[in-house]
Structure 1
């Protein structure tokens, strides 16, 4: 997509489509909705995070403000918002690890969760999946986690302003005005996006959220492990969540991560439930349809197919957000089901 000026000087580029779904019966719970899909972009150089550079010691990196939205076609009242963030993948389709892409061929990692966004929207959520190619084209480590968190918060800030009829999204997405509850937000990050989502929602950084925005539940999906030299190292505080419920969902055949560090970092201190979730025989990349051709399974003889793995995601993840954003309890969240093993750590005290 063509580069555009920074926020406040550019119109939003929007593409919209209707995703047709089959309505469920009236007795189903939760209610099912037809779904609309909208994309927006303020350009590839629309945002910067002070302290995040193209490379250590280099210039501050330019980041895009681009996302795809799935939502109920007919919005009534205020809906919870679920924000999705992808992880570390090549920013450009030609394999170039830079940003913006010299050929304008940005890799659509943020579209790899359309199947999940559609299912969440069918269940009544407004779902925003954000592009983080600019982060992937910059420096790594904790600076990248901080930048992902700031990028996610910037999108939430724009949606808060949109809800009030203000900001860069207000003109083209005015149909959402007054229909999104920014005090009832869930976040999900995949791989290093999960690390960024935990950074954003950690006790240490809760005060950095935009005014009027409240995250109520977090699900790091196959999150990349963070570095801390020992369990008492101060680095753990940047990834410790004790004040809101969260679930860590990882595949048993994931050759890249194990996710256990986030549970160990918080359990015994948590004031809300923590769910340690294992998708049996799932790998790392099949949760993202744009990455599906890369099979990294450590047990290929019994690995799930991409469709089976996505079925795990659309079973557990909507139930998790229903439980903590809509107060619809589900046994699968706390206890799992065949193919989804769950260990729940109850709150202390």
Structure 2
């Protein structure tokens, strides 16, 4: 079974102990850029490249606990009125350093900006009223692989949600620099999206088994694994399946028909017939794996390169379906394409049982 793109051989590790969080506080670095043409503001924040650790997640099996960054770019409506739902984005497995070194932090301070590869999507979601946070996961990519990396991705995503929750209450390391967001974030109405192995982390975080591990006051209402890497489970009730089974939250798995890295089917198979909320298998025809991220689009991984979509066409699919999905499940605004698709995008929907 294909389990996602890898640019270099890596060893597999696993974490079975409960996850605790550790963070080294540093002064947050932020930059802000309003875009008056679109009505969207863009803000970046970073607490440093060694700001977070997940006990049990190592740089390599038997190695030291890995240092992880707390870095993100935020797209939000330029004018915030009331509390806005939050959409958290997490990229997948790609080189952490532009110099092709698989270490973290990067010795040459040349971190690869995978988290900026969804700026086009963040801008569109923000234009439609969401506060969108795309997080950097380079430190995880430089560490162990396997389920331990999924646990670390989920923990990193939850830590960002915890930071945003505290920010909304006027507390924590982001409160002073991002004070304009205070009282404008609804952390009880969160959507998550993970691309590639980020999809595995997002599903692990939102699964029925791990719902109680979310930060207090945070509620995930919808999940979209985007071309998610598959996991291996030998039978339907294997522990791995339970770790990635979502039955109580709507989710959509979007995987292109020409994806040369993953097939994404295991998540729907794991939940269908058990689901208490709608689940959607979304297949953009002729889409590949990498074009969803603008920083990865130089690598055409398509199974059908002669008939595939252009990067612009593929991102147009993303900015059509993904906002409609989150508007339906976070804002209650039904859109028929979420369950039915449109020409060029097939959707198979499994309605709630019972």
TM-score, scaled relative to structure 2: 0.93
Residue of structure 2 in register with 1:3 after alignment: none
Residue of structure 2 in register with 1:246 after alignment: 251
Query: Does 1:126 find its partner at 2:142?
Result: no
User: Unaligned regions of 5+ residues in structure 2, if any?
Assistant: 1-21
**Aligned to 2:241, what secondary structure does the other structure show?**
helix
Residue of structure 1 in register with 2:27 after alignment: 11
Q: Deviations over 1:314-336 (max 9, x none)?
A: 00000000000000000110000
Residue of structure 1 in register with 2:107 after alignment: 102
Residue of structure 1 in register with 2:340 after alignment: 335
Residue of structure 1 in register with 2:153 after alignment: 148
User: Partners in 1 of 2:124 and 2:282 — Cα distance?
Assistant: 20
Q: CA RMSD in A?
A: 0.9
Corresponding residue to 1:276 among 272, 281, 296: 281
8 Å CA contact 1:7–1:168 kept in 2: the answer is no
**Aligned to 1:157, what secondary structure does the other structure show?**
helix
How far is 1:230 from its partner? Answer: 2.3
**Aligned to 1:186, what secondary structure does the other structure show?**
strand
Residue of structure 2 in register with 1:222 after alignment: 227
Query: Does 1:172 find its partner at 2:177?
Result: yes
1:1-349 alignment, distance < 5 Å: 9-22=25-38, 34-349=39-354
How far is 1:150 from its partner? Answer: 0.1
8 Å CA contact 2:287–2:308 kept in 1: the answer is yes
Residue of structure 2 in register with 1:26 after alignment: none
8 Å CA contact 2:256–2:289 kept in 1: the answer is yes
User: Partners in 1 of 2:192 and 2:37 — Cα distance?
Assistant: 24
Q: Deviations over 1:127-158 (max 9, x none)?
A: 00000000000000000000000000000000
User: Partners in 1 of 2:152 and 2:76 — Cα distance?
Assistant: 26
How far is 1:107 from its partner? Answer: 0.1
**Aligned to 2:291, what secondary structure does the other structure show?**
coil
8 Å CA contact 1:47–1:62 kept in 2: the answer is yes
Mean CA deviation greater in 80-89 or 233-242: 233-242
User: Unaligned regions of 5+ residues in structure 1, if any?
Assistant: 1-5, 23-33
How far is 1:227 from its partner? Answer: 1.5
User: Partners in 2 of 1:19 and 1:294 — Cα distance?
Assistant: 29
